[in-house]
Chains A and B, each alone.
Chain A
Amino acid sequence: MTGETVMFWVLAPLTVFAAVGMLLVKKAVHSAILLAFVMIALAIFYIAQDAPFLGIVQIVVYTGAVMMLFLFILMLVGVDSSDSLVETIKGLRGVAITTSLAFAAALTSLIARAEFGQEPLGLVSANANGNVEGIANLIFRQYVWAFEVISALLITAALGAMVLAHSPKSSEARLSQRARSVARFRGASIGTAAGLPGSGVFARHNAVDVPALLPDGKPSDLSISSVLAERGDVQETKRYALDGLPKLDEEDK
Chain B
Amino acid sequence: MTEYASLLLDDPIWLVAVKALLIFVLCVLLTLLAIWGERRIVARMQLRVGPNRVGPFGLVQGLADGVKLALKEDLIPKAADKVIFIIAPIISASTCFLAFAVIPMTGKVLFFGEETVFQLTDLSVGVLYILAAASVGVYGIVLAGWSSGSTYPLLGGLRSSAQVISYEIAMGLSFVAVFMYAGSMSTSEIVDSQAQWWNVVVLFPSFVIYVISMIGETNRAPFDLAEAEGELVGGFHTEYSSLKFALFFLAEYVNIMAVSALATTLFLGGPAAPPGLSFTESWLGGWFTFIWFILKVALFFFLFVWLRGTLPRLRYDQFMKFGWKVLIPVNIAWILIVATLRLMTQEGASQFMLAGFIITVVVLVMLATTIYESSKAKAEAAARFVPEMPEPSFPVPELPKQKRVEL
Contact = CB atoms under 8 A, between A and B. Distances in A.
Interface of A: 27, 29-30, 33, 36, 40, 43, 52-53, 56-57, 59-60, 63-65, 68, 71-72, 75-76, 79-80, 130-132, 173, 175-176, 178-179, 182-183, 186-191, 214-216, 218, 247-249, 252
Contacts of A183: 386-387, 389
Given A27-B81, A79-B149, A186-B389, A63 B135 contact: yes
Interface in B85-111: none
B215 interface: no
Interface of B: 79, 81, 84, 123-125, 128-129, 131-132, 135-136, 138-139, 142-143, 145-146, 149, 154, 157-158, 161-162, 165, 168, 185, 382-387, 389-390, 392-402
Contact of B135 (A64, A214, A248): A64
Contacts of B138: 64, 68
A178 to B, nearest CB: 5
Nearest to A215: B397
Nearest to B402: A248
Contacts of A30: 84
A71 B81 CA distance: 15
B383 A132 contact: no
Contacts of B79: 80
A75 B145 contact: yes
The 9 closest A-B pairs by CB, nearest first: A64-B135, A187-B389, A176-B383, A59-B132, A215-B397, A190-B392, A214-B395, A56-B128, A182-B386
B38 to A, nearest CB: 28
Given A175-B387, A188-B392, 10 more contacts: A52-B123, A60-B128, A63-B132, A65-B135, A76-B158, A79-B154, A178-B383, A182-B386, A214-B395, A216-B397
A80 B136 CA distance: 23
B165 A65 contact: yes
Nearest to B398: A248
Contacts of A53: 124-125, 128
A147 B399 CA distance: 83
A125 B28 CA distance: 43
21 contacts: A64-B165, A72-B162, A75-B142, A75-B145, A75-B146, A75-B157, A80-B79, A80-B149, A173-B382, A176-B382, A179-B386, A179-B387, A187-B389, A188-B389, A188-B392, A190-B392, A191-B394, A215-B395, A247-B398, A248-B397, A248-B399
Nearest to B87: A33
B386 A68 contact: no
Contact of B132 (A60, A76, A178): A60
B389 A179 contact: no
Nearest to A189: B392
Nearest to A190: B392
A221 B211 CA distance: 54
Contacts of B161: 68, 72
Contacts of B402: 248
A216 B386 contact: no
A102 B389 CA distance: 69
Nearest to B151: A79
Nearest to A177: B383
Contacts of B123: 52
Given A79-B154, A80-B149, A218-B395, A248 B400 contact: yes
A189 B158 CA distance: 38
A59 B125 CA distance: 13
Nearest to A30: B84
B84 A64 contact: no
Contacts of A40: 136
Contacts of A132: 124-125, 185
B76 to A, nearest CB: 16
B125 A79 contact: no
B124 A130 contact: yes
A196 to B, nearest CB: 14
A174 to B, nearest CB: 10
A72 B81 CA distance: 17
B79 to A, nearest CB: 8
Contacts of A27: 81
B8 to A, nearest CB: 15
A36 B139 contact: yes
Contacts of B132: 43, 56, 59-60, 63-64
A12 B210 CA distance: 38
Nearest to B149: A79
Contacts of B154: 75, 79
Nearest to A43: B132
A34 B123 CA distance: 27
A29 B136 contact: no
Contact of B390 (A75, A76, A188, A248): A188
Nearest to A214: B395
Contact of A60 (B135, B387, B389, B393): B135
Contacts of B395: 214-216, 218
A52 B386 contact: no
Contact of B146 (A43, A79, A186, A218): A79
A62 B138 CA distance: 13
A33 B84 contact: yes
Contacts of B157: 75
A176 B385 CA distance: 9
A215 B146 contact: no
Contact of A68 (B128, B146, B165, B393): B165
A65 B139 CA distance: 11
B392 A187 contact: yes
Contacts of B124: 52-53, 130-132
A131 B138 CA distance: 28
A253 to B, nearest CB: 12
Contacts of A182: 386
